[in-house]
Structures are given as structure tokens and as C-alpha cells.
Chains A and B, each alone.
Chain A
């Protein structure tokens, strides 16, 4: 499998601000790749470098086998982009903007355009100045989804959409993935990324802090266990990888590093397991693990869930 996007050691500064500080990102052909980080972490800057709108200071950037700065026009025929904050020409209608963007990209499928307008419930005759944020977002989404392109670059594409439209969006992204096309989905809506992405990259302060499939990431963290046994469990605290043991209502709750799960389960079975629930970490928990210290610095009461696991089950 080749890489649709390959970024390594990307640095971009604006004056004294170091927006990207050695960022790495690899998106394989045919996958939906989640690009996760809070506001200001460098997601949009990375995407604007990928689109050739900003010039990198250093590092290597390859997009669909080309250089995004020098080969911009040829590459852009093969991709569609949805910005997070869509600004349109106030005096041009949504329908006109969709056609314009599609034509500038090399044409769009009229039947699919009609279908998308209907599914997204968008009135194409309104001038852009009268659209709400959600409707402006729909204009960019329809223009992108109606184009037959290899790669979709979506920068928080669903901000401003209601849950119904969010569901429609997710359905289209799955369809695109099934068709073997590639999607880079930047988001801070973690449930969305969890539902759609094959792999994710988490970035912080312009650097990639973790990348991999959701399963791989889960493996790096802890699983929450809640167990009820015939005899009281002893010796659990001494096992490597076990954290935050607590007993309540005859149940024992604790977190265990995912790579120690096997040892711990063997130990438990010797006490006669009657009931057992285990919960893999959610993406939100994975994410907060990398940002927990920041929340703590800001005085936000952080969750046990970041550094140690909450008793979810």
C-alpha cells in the first residue's frame, strides 16, 4: 500500500509562533485517517501546507506522490477539500458555489449533486449571505462529495451540522471508504472519529504524539475491569500493570495496562470468577491521556480517566 499523504519533520513558523514543530503524518491509500487535536494544535496549518496554501519552513511533505507546493494544480484535480469555517461569496447562491467549486476541480456528477442536495436538505437558490454556518458547511460538503476524487481532505467538516446531518455525513464517508478512496478527517469530535476512522494521529503543539489504529492505541493504554469472585482476591496490587484497585459492593474494580491483561486474568481465575466486565478505553480517554496535564495545569478537575481509569463498567 502506498501513502496518499506522507509528512515528516514538518516545521512552520509564523513570526515567533512555532505552529508546526516537526509534525509527522502518514495516511495510507484507501483509509479514513483521523487527525485529532484541540483548537490551535496545528491541524488546519498542516492541511493548508498540504494544499499548497502555506509554504513549509522545513520537513518533507508528499501528497498523492507529488509536492503540494509545486504540483498544486495537478494534485488538486485529484482531491476535494472542505474547510472548517466555510466562507462563501455573499452574492452567489449555494447552487452556484457548488457548481463553481466542482468545475474548478474538473467537474462534478450532476446526479450525485442532486442526491446530495436532497439528503443534506439544502436550498441551492439562497444567496450565501443568508445561509447559516451549518448551511455554508453543507455547500462545501456537497461540492466535495459530488466530485469523483481520490482524496478528501476534511477540516472539521461537520462543525455546525445537526445530528441528523452528521449521520448523513457519516454514511457518505463510509461509502467513500468502501469505494477505496482516501479521507483525511481532521476533527475534535472524537465520537465521529471513533465511528469513522481506521487509523488516527493525535497531535499536540504542532507535533504528532501518537499514531496508529484505534486497536493499537487501545493496546497502549489501560482497560477497566470490574470483577466479582467466589473468594476475596489477594495479591492483585503486587502484579505489574495494575492500578487503582478499589473494592465496592462485593466487586473489585481496577485498571490494567492492556499488555498485562493476560497475566491479570490468569491471576483472577484462581479466585473463581463469577462475573466480569471489561471496557476498552474510548478515543476520548486516549485523547485526554495526552492532554490531561494541560487540563490539570488549567485547574480543571481531571478525571481519573486520563491518567488512571475511571470505573466505567
Chain B
């Protein structure tokens, strides 16, 4: 047999095994992606049921830089189906990219880090088999997502060809990030770092297409999400941009295999320097340890959010010109001014930044649970550290870190907006407005703390489920026909949309009380329960 075939020996067995391990996870990812499309399809068809409603929608969306920044290119809006694709494609593509990242990473670097790959490779499995299996499982997930989206689109009454093209775009985006993760898993020596690298690529890809779509420039072609959205389902129905995604996957796979061939098992290409022989002053307390464990992640988030904040702040002028160049929008929004739209745009930006900060806060609180689960908390608690001091250390990093992220991204947006509008005095007001979201961010961290205390094994599912719910309610619910109470459960709904609405002490006090109660529940339960590993 030729060497390439030998290197792939055993891939089929590993694929079947990986599919068994992911028999819950993968269907959940696919169901989430399909459900988002189904819900959007049903919701949009109910809301834009008349040509007039659709025309109004077209006008306001065409003038909304915020909508374009988060959704995609404003094309195909002459039909309801096109509106569905515009609203949902960006979000579902991020879901697909994350599914691809976690699936590929879990079966490649994570297995290698845990030592399972060593065991597998000691059998007849070839050198490339574990990576090939990880890629194959992720790719199967992407294809299944594409088919599921096509099916639910068709079943909810959208044209079949466009539905399957939308699905294919989403799947193709997932394929590119399968390749990106495969390369990242070779470069970095840990799963966490591989996800960080892939997440950074995803962030940059999203930002490039956002700027490109708002400016209507060619910058979208620098982003794989831009390629996937360039299929323009339900309007131009182009298939050829998918070839770019497939070609990118091919190139990334060749690179990843080359990298794999040039490294030792267990090693990364970016790690391996010796470290400090003795601990610095920081590593002396539980808080110092928590800071040390989380500082790399916090730094990555901070840089990303500052860049995001600055880029979105710089788009303020475009918001005004989009509105002024759009007579239809002016007709539908009488009394609206360019300046008012900028404020509305900034309010949306601040809430999205806050959602990202909340994601950091939750992952940071869950770090405590990960430490417990891996057994690393035992030596710390077997030393003279109380349980509450240990949990407090991670919660402190989560609360102060997420507040820092809100401050940094809000500050960047406000500073860039103040500079580009020539109104230096607006900085203080905008910056203060961005801080209004801190209590809501902390409320999500509080949910995670309570979950770690009360239901440790389900903590990650509960906490991320809550974040997912808040994201759906904040981003999609305004365009859907959901009962009011569904949205009212979200702490982000309690927060006024500053700077458009004004900040209220009552809302902040209510959220602060909720945060205190959740922390008390979490700390109380953690102090009374057994430690659980695994």
C-alpha cells in the first residue's frame, strides 16, 4: 500500500467512534442552526406579510449600519425569503463555525492533550488518521447542517433552491473553519490556545465582512464569511462563491498535514520554551493563581473588544450618510435625524459588546468548575485556602474582567466616535452610556456562579444555555412574534437602551440585587457540597 493510504489507516473506525462520542453534541448543534432558520423564516413571513411592510423593512434596514454590520450584505430584500436570509445567515454561519471549531478541536488537539491520541496511534491507526477523522466528522456535521437548513427553509415555505443554497453557504463557512481549526491544532500546544487562535480568525473574518458590507467595498472578499454570504440566496442564487470555501478548506488541510508531519506527538509548533524556575510575586494567593490562569484569555478578549469597539465607533459617519442617501428611509422614519440614528446604532453596539463581555464572564466563572472537575482545586484547598476564598478569586476575575471589557470596548467606541465626529465633548456621555450594561453582564456571571454551586456537573450547560437565550432574545426577538414575557426574563431587557433611552437607578438596583442573590446562592451551595471531579 502506498504511504499516504497507510497514514490514513483506521480513519473509518475513528470516524465511527467519534460520531458515537458526539451522538448528542452534533445533533444539538445542527438542531440549533436549523431552529434559528425555521424561527426566522416563520417570524419574517408573519411580520412582512404585505408589500408595504416589506418595503418599509427594506428602507430601514438599508439605512441601518448596525443591522448590516451584524447581518450581512443588504441584498435580495425585495422578497421575504431574501429578508430571512439577510437576517439569519450571519448568525447561523457563526454557529456553524463554532460547531466546526469545537468538533475538530475536540477530536484532534483535545484528544492529543489528554493522551488518548497516543493510545490510538499505538494501534494500527496511521499518522494522519486522528486528524482525518476529526476533519471528516466536522465536515459531516457541516453537510448535515446544510441539508437541515435547506429542509427547514423549504418546509417553512421558502423557495427550495434558495433554501438549500443558504444551507450550503452555512455549511461551507463551517468547512473553512474546520480547516482553520485543523491548522490551529497543529500550531498550538493546547486545546485552549487552538480555540483562541481559531476564535481570533473568526473574529477578524466577521469584522472584515462587517466593514466591507457597510462600506460596500471589496473587503468582504477577504473574509470566508463574506464568501459564504456572497451566494445571495433567493436573489442572485450564485453557487460559485462556495468554490472559494472548498478551495480554502483544501489548502488549509494540506497545510495542517504538512505541519503534523513536522512535529512530535503532543508538541505544538508555538510552545516549548522553558518557563520560570520559581514563582513570581503574583503566584502567592488564590486570586493571584486565578489571575495567572485567566490573564491570557482576558488579554485576548480585551484586544478583540477594543478593536471591535474602535471599528464600530468609526462607522458612525457611515450611519449618517447611509440615512441621508436613502430617501425611502427618510420617508418611513419621519422626524428621524442622522444624529438620532447614530445614537441608536451606538446603543446596539454597546449591547453587543456587553453580550461578548458576558460570554467572557461566564467562561471565566466556569473556569472555576473546570479546575474542580480536573482535580486541580484539591491541592489548593488542601492548603490553607478556604472554599469561599478560592471561589471568590475566580468570581473576582470574572466580574472585574468583564467590567474591564465593557469599559475598554465602550471607551474605544466612544473615543473613536468623538474623534471622527469632531465633537470631543460627546466622549464622556457615550462612555458613561456603555457602562450601563455592567449590571446585566454581572447578572449572567451570577447565573454561572449559582450553577457552579448548585448543579456543578450541569453548570456549563446551564450557564451557556442562559447566554444563548439572552443572545437570541436580544438579537432576534425584536423581529419575531414572541410573547413579551419571554424577553422580559433577560437581564439585558431590563437595561435601558442608552444613550437613546435614559439610565435608571431602579433598573440598576434591581439587577444588582439579582446579582447579589445569585452570588449568595452559588457561594452558599459551594461551601456545603462535596467536591466533584470528572
A-side interface residues toward B, CB under 8 Å?
A: 48, 51-55, 72-74, 76-77, 79, 81, 83, 85-93, 95-101, 103-106, 124-127, 129-130, 140, 153
Contact = CB atoms under 8 A, between A and B. Distances in A.
B375 A85 contact: yes
Given A54-B530, A76-B383, A99 B274 contact: no
Given A51-B381, A54-B531, A125-B276, 19 more contacts: A72-B386, A73-B385, A76-B385, A83-B378, A83-B382, A89-B293, A89-B376, A90-B190, A91-B190, A95-B279, A96-B280, A100-B279, A100-B283, A100-B288, A103-B279, A104-B385, A105-B384, A125-B274, A140-B379
Contacts of B280: 96
Contacts of B374: 87
Instruction: For the complex of A and B, list the 5 residue pairs with the smallest distance between their C-beta atoms, beginning with the closest.
Output: A99-B279, A104-B383, A93-B275, A125-B274, A81-B382
B278 to A, nearest CB: 5
B113 interface: yes
A93 B378 CA distance: 18
14 contacts: A55-B528, A83-B379, A83-B382, A89-B289, A93-B274, A95-B277, A100-B288, A103-B283, A103-B284, A104-B286, A104-B384, A104-B385, A124-B278, A129-B113
Interface in B250-276: 271-272, 274-276
Nearest to B531: A53
Interface of B: 113, 189-190, 271-272, 274-280, 283-286, 288-289, 292-293, 296, 374-376, 378-387, 528-531
B174 to A, nearest CB: 28
Contact of A104 (B376, B380, B528, B530): B380
Contacts of B190: 90-91, 129
Contacts of B275: 92-93, 95-96, 125-127
Contacts of A87: 374-376
Contacts of A103: 279, 283-285
A100 B284 contact: yes
A76 B278 contact: no
A127 B113 CA distance: 13
Contacts of B380: 101, 104
Contacts of B375: 83, 85, 87
Which of A51, A74, A96, A99: most chain B CB closer than 10 A?
Answer: A96
Do most interface residues of chain B lie in helix, strand or loop, or is the interface mixed?
Answer: loop
Contacts of A93: 274-277
Nearest to B377: A53
A51 B386 CA distance: 11
Nearest to B267: A130
Contacts of A88: 376
A189 to B, nearest CB: 22
Which of B292, B382, B528, B531: most chain A CB closer than 10 A?
Answer: B382
Contact of B277 (A91, A101, A106, A125): A125
Contact of B379 (A55, A79, A101): A101
A130 B189 CA distance: 10
Nearest to B278: A95
A53 B383 contact: no
A104 B376 CA distance: 14
B379 A106 contact: no
A148 to B, nearest CB: 13
Nearest to A117: B277
B283 A52 contact: no
A79 B113 CA distance: 32
Given A83-B378, A95-B278, A100 B289 contact: yes
B250 to A, nearest CB: 32
Contacts of B276: 93, 95-96, 125
Given A95-B277, A125-B274, A53 B381 contact: yes
A197 to B, nearest CB: 22
A120 to B, nearest CB: 14
B530 A101 contact: no
A11 to B, nearest CB: 14
Contacts of A96: 275-276, 278-280, 283
